[in-house]
Structure 1
Amino acid sequence: MTHPLRKHIEEIISLTDEEFDFVLSHFEQIKKRKHQYIIQEGEFVNKEYWIINGCLKSYFVDDNGKEHIIQFGMENWWITDYESFVKQVASKTSIDCIEDSELLYITYENRERLTAEMHKMERFWAKKSKIGRIGLQNRILSLLQNSAKERYNLLLEQYPTLLQRVPKKMIAAYLGVSRETLSRLNS
């Protein structure tokens, strides 16, 4: 059976068995339980996570104590606080597990070493970064120009299984609406 990370990488680049073994040697595997953090606001982040299975949320809490969900992460997704990971500054976000989760992580140093020694992986991460920027741009545009109902319908269309996995109050925090507004959108 093909390793799930290999299948993920090979959506973009091909790898020999030896190359994949080399790539995998730069990762560590961890399991986290529901409600456990992988990153807390204020920490210095040195790891990027790839989700084997489970569901996570990346969020921040504003000065009024309101939670704003930036991103959900599910199987085959990458997640971290990228500003902290790249610039080695304090994290502005927290990431915790909505479900029990199994993750692979790569440290910043191992990612830099891997991309320097294996240019295929540099191409892989460049492509993943571009895809991520497109997703972020689309999310910002949706928040700026779409109604709450349009954002909700788009979420249903893009991630139909998410609503079965995530509590409604988190969906509301992701869409930028109240729980009451979400209930009206859902009816």
Structure 2
Amino acid sequence: MDTSKNRHIFFRTHISQIVQLTDEEFEQVLNCFTFRKYKKHQYITQQGEIGSHEHFVLKGIVKSSYTDPSGKEHILQLAMEEWWFSDINAFNNEQPATFNADCLEDTETYSISFENKEKLCAESKKMEYFFRKKYTSGNIALQKRVLALLSSSAGERYNQLLIQYPSLYKRVSKTIIAAYLGVSRETLSRLSSTG
């Protein structure tokens, strides 16, 4: 985003898809968020850290992943513009972060702490409703992703990614796309050459 005015318009337009805010109400919302800029490859959160935030992506792509004890990375989410991401358990329960969140591009976010989110929801029924709707749609998307990983073929997952997020394929490396789909790099090459 070029200016704070553009960021504000972008964020307000996003919120207005669910609730309409007055100028004063939107100002109240902005006061609860912090604008942050990150460089490509910079971590926003690392496994084991305390003090998680919830983030709205203004610009860029963020990869949320878990590295298991054997060192294998499992990608849970690739969050682009207008997406929300957080380590839900760490954010809500003040637990150490389970996931890494790192930037695949230069990234800008609006971030909110648990305390500020609680305060905002207590003071604004509109924003409480907004967050509830976003939380529900996020859970539905996660459930669909898990079911796809469990029951869909590699080709079906690949085709679904192209339909749902066509720009993602152009912006993210094939290695990351393969890991996100749960396939090898070779399988992805085969799928993309036949697709």
Partner residue in 2 for 1:92: 98
Partner residue in 2 for 1:182: 188
Contact 1:36–1:97 at 8 Å: present in 2 too? yes
Q: Give 5+ residue unaligned stretches, structure 1.
A: none
Does 2:107 match 1:127?
no
> Pick from 160, 163, 174: which aligns with 1:168?
174
Partner residue in 1 for 2:44: 38
Give me the whole-angstrom Cα distance separating, in 1, the residues matched to 2:148 and 2:45.
27
What are the residue-to-residue correspondences of 1:113-152 with 2, within 5 Å?
Answer: 113-152=119-158
Give me the whole-angstrom Cα distance separating, in 2, the residues matched to 1:172 and 1:120.
39
Contact 1:45–1:81 at 8 Å: present in 2 too? no
Task: Report the more deviating stretch, 146-155 or 2-11.
Answer: 2-11
Structure with the bigger percentage of helix = 2
Provide the TM-score with structure 2 as the length reference: 0.93
Give me the whole-angstrom Cα distance separating, in 1, the residues matched to 2:98 and 2:86.
11
Moved over 6 A (4+): none
Q: 1:95 to 1:173 in 2, by over 3 A?
A: same
Contact 2:52–2:86 at 8 Å: present in 1 too? no
Partner residue in 1 for 2:3: none
Give me the whole-angstrom Cα distance separating, in 1, the residues matched to 2:30 and 2:62.
22
Q: Give 5+ residue unaligned stretches, structure 2.
A: 1-5
> Identity over the aligned pairs, expressed in percent?
51
Does 2:57 match 1:51?
yes
Give me the whole-angstrom Cα distance separating, in 2, the residues matched to 1:186 and 1:161.
15
Give me the whole-angstrom Cα distance separating, in 2, the residues matched to 1:80 and 1:152.
25
Amino acid of the structure 1 residue aligned with 2:112 = I
Q: How many residue pairs were aligned?
A: 187
Provide the TM-score with structure 1 as the length reference: 0.97
Give me the whole-angstrom Cα distance separating, in 2, the residues matched to 1:120 and 1:131.
17
Contact 2:47–2:100 at 8 Å: present in 1 too? yes
Contact 1:44–1:88 at 8 Å: present in 2 too? yes
Give me the whole-angstrom Cα distance separating, in 2, the residues matched to 1:131 and 1:91.
22
Give me the whole-angstrom Cα distance separating, in 1, the residues matched to 2:125 and 2:118.
11
> Pick from 103, 108, 111: which aligns with 1:105?
111
Which whole-Å deviations, capped at 9, do the CAs of 1:45-91 have from their partners, x for residues lacking one? 33111110101100011222111110000001111111100011111
SS of the equivalent of 1:24 reads: helix
Contact 2:64–2:75 at 8 Å: present in 1 too? yes
